[in-house]
Structure 1
Amino acid sequence: MDCAATILRRAVIVAFVACTALAPVRSDCADVDMARILAPTGHLRAGLYPGTPTSVLPDGTDNPRGVGYTIGKEMARQLHVDYAPVVFPRNAEVLEAVKSGAVDVAFTNASPARAKNMDFGPVYLEIELGYLVPDGSPLSDIGDVDATGRKVGVTAGSTSDATLGRELKNATLVRAPTLKDATNMLASHQIDAFATNKATLFEMTEQVPGSRVLDGRWGEERHAIAIPKGREAGLDFLRSFTAHIRSSGLVSAAADRAGLKGVVAPGK
């Protein structure tokens, strides 16, 4: 055997031994590497916020409803790490946690502004954006909202905040710290309408008797898995994982279980 062949054979042996040492309970060394990239603490810390079926709806059980919660649980299973959901009061705090690396993944609208601070996998869910109005409101469709004297609520730091802050020409934007605050503001008629994705709006109707979601939409949210910058090596996994959760029916099943409405139909 010549010198080059001997060196190559030794390199293969070293690589094999290293892989075995890294993954004593797994057969694929790539699984270990991917877990180290996407869940470096050994736990998949998933950033979530309550009050919307797109994220999590806490119910006091070990398996709460919510598309984000369910996706995170499956992702941890495929990475062979523990699942560690971290629930924040507001989505803005989830986004900040992704940016700082305090959480490993989040499930949120993949807007261009957010892509500056985090990386996204492919879209797994598209949801209409709309308005919720309180009992007795004279508003009948979304075209009635942007009028002088109207007060439109948004969650501070949300996509709706950024977008409607630019697009509303006559109505006044009112920022609520949390969805719970927004619900109270709508019920007490402090605002004339509240804007966000329709999945959340339909969930809020249960808390505000007589409220209704207006027909039409003023935009769409495209939800995708977000990871902190610097973990780009995990994007191939996110692409294949997203394809799996869509084709397997996991996303649609989680959406149905959470009672999620306002999903954009394919081709629309």
Structure 2
Amino acid sequence: MSPLALPQTPPDIAKEIAPTGTLRAVINFGNPILARKDPSSGAPVGVSVDLAQALAKQLNLPLTLVPVESAGKSVETVTQGQADIGFFAIDPVRGKGITFTPPYVLIEGSYLVKKDSPLLNNAQVDQAMHRVVVGKGSAYDLFLTRELKEAQLVRAPTSPLVVPFFMEGTYDVAAGVKQQLESDAKKFDGLRLLPGRFMVIEQAMGQPHSVSKRAQETLANFVANMKSNGFVRDSLVRHQIEGATIAP
């Protein structure tokens, strides 16, 4: 079943999802697994862009993409009514202003250290002597703010800037999307990832809490269909994304 074969959403429900008559989707470039800029055109591409386009077709509405550089800005854009939908890591802090669908992909969060670091595993990170760099407002920031009891968090402006920020200071650990850290470790000498993961992030679509129950159910059903019909899997393959798995 292709996304084009999905049943059209009734106009009244489409109006509840996108009151302006245009579906406004915020796209976060801070998570390279979900979205990035096309190297040649600079246009947004990725799984989240594909999903936004497919949803606009189902709603029979034009689409406007609202690109941002960080997860925090993505949340702000939706909660302040500047976008109708977004793509988020499910988190209770964000859940205060956003209603999430069930997740569509799972992404691992990992730690990165310098090769001469004495740290050998994730359990050794949470010590008072350690400073951990994380992207401000990212899912990793929110999670580690709750979970780390001793180590100090140091916030880089965005997730893609975590490793450059880490390299410029006397920090002990960098935390973020495993794929992003692996990529950055190839660009900078003397880095290694700690084995395993410190968290699994559930990536979902989200809407403002203020939308109707029907609008929430429509988006949740859309995500379920995009997983079951292979759309999400095919999109990950097409964009050559590794490090993400389809959510059950």
Q: Fold conserved (TM > 0.5)?
A: yes
**For the residues of structure 1 that align with 2:185 and 2:50, how far apart are their CA atoms?**
23
The secondary structure found in structure 2 opposite 1:231 is: coil
Whether 1:41 aligns to 2:12 is no
Contact 1:134/1:189, CA 8 A, preserved across alignment: no
Letter in 2 for 1:55: L
Aligned to 1:122: 102
Letter in 1 for 2:20: T
What is the Cα deviation at residue 265 of structure 1?
Answer: 7.2
Flag structure 1 segments of 5+ consecutive residues without an equivalent.
Answer: 1-27
Aligned to 2:84: 104
Counterparts of residues 46-85 of structure 1 (less than 5 Å):
46-59=25-38, 60-61=40-41, 64-85=44-65
Q: Please identify which structure carries the higher helix content.
A: 1
Whether 1:185 aligns to 2:152 is no
Letter in 2 for 1:53: P
Choose from 131, 135, 139 the match for 1:159: 139
The secondary structure found in structure 2 opposite 1:34 is: helix
What is the Cα deviation at residue 119 of structure 1?
Answer: 0.9
**For the residues of structure 2 that align with 1:141 and 1:257, how far apart are their CA atoms?**
33
What is the Cα deviation at residue 196 of structure 1?
Answer: 2.4
Contact 1:45/1:83, CA 8 A, preserved across alignment: yes
Query: Structure 1 vs Structure 2: percent identity of aligned residues?
Result: 32
Letter in 2 for 1:96: E
Deviation larger for 79-88 or 44-53: 44-53
Letter in 2 for 1:263: A
Aligned to 1:223: 203
What is the Cα deviation at residue 99 of structure 1?
Answer: 0.8
What is the Cα deviation at residue 37 of structure 1?
Answer: 1.3
Compared CA separation, residues 212 and 69, structure 1 to 2 (3 A): farther
**For the residues of structure 1 that align with 2:137 and 2:187, how far apart are their CA atoms?**
23
**For the residues of structure 2 that align with 1:171 and 1:88, how far apart are their CA atoms?**
29
Contact 2:110/2:194, CA 8 A, preserved across alignment: yes
TM-score normalised by L of structure 1: 0.79
Contact 2:104/2:232, CA 8 A, preserved across alignment: yes
**For the residues of structure 2 that align with 1:158 and 1:51, how far apart are their CA atoms?**
9
Counterparts of residues 240-251 of structure 1 (less than 5 Å):
240-251=221-232
What is the Cα deviation at residue 239 of structure 1?
Answer: 2.2
Encode CA deviations 1:176-212: one digit per residue, 9 max, x unaligned.
1113432311233543222123244334445434533
Compared CA separation, residues 180 and 160, structure 1 to 2 (3 A): closer
Deviation larger for 125-134 or 56-65: 56-65
Residue correspondences, number: 240
Compared CA separation, residues 52 and 157, structure 1 to 2 (3 A): closer
The secondary structure found in structure 1 opposite 2:77 is: helix
Aligned to 2:111: 131
TM-score normalised by L of structure 2: 0.85
Letter in 1 for 2:55: M
Aligned to 2:3: none
The secondary structure found in structure 1 opposite 2:13 is: helix
Flag structure 2 segments of 5+ consecutive residues without an equivalent.
Answer: 1-6
Compared CA separation, residues 180 and 63, structure 1 to 2 (3 A): closer
The secondary structure found in structure 1 opposite 2:227 is: helix
**For the residues of structure 1 that align with 2:25 and 2:34, how far apart are their CA atoms?**
10
Encode CA deviations 1:84-110: one digit per residue, 9 max, x unaligned.
111112210110111111111111111
What is the Cα deviation at residue 148 of structure 1?
Answer: 3.6
**For the residues of structure 1 that align with 2:198 and 2:115, how far apart are their CA atoms?**
21
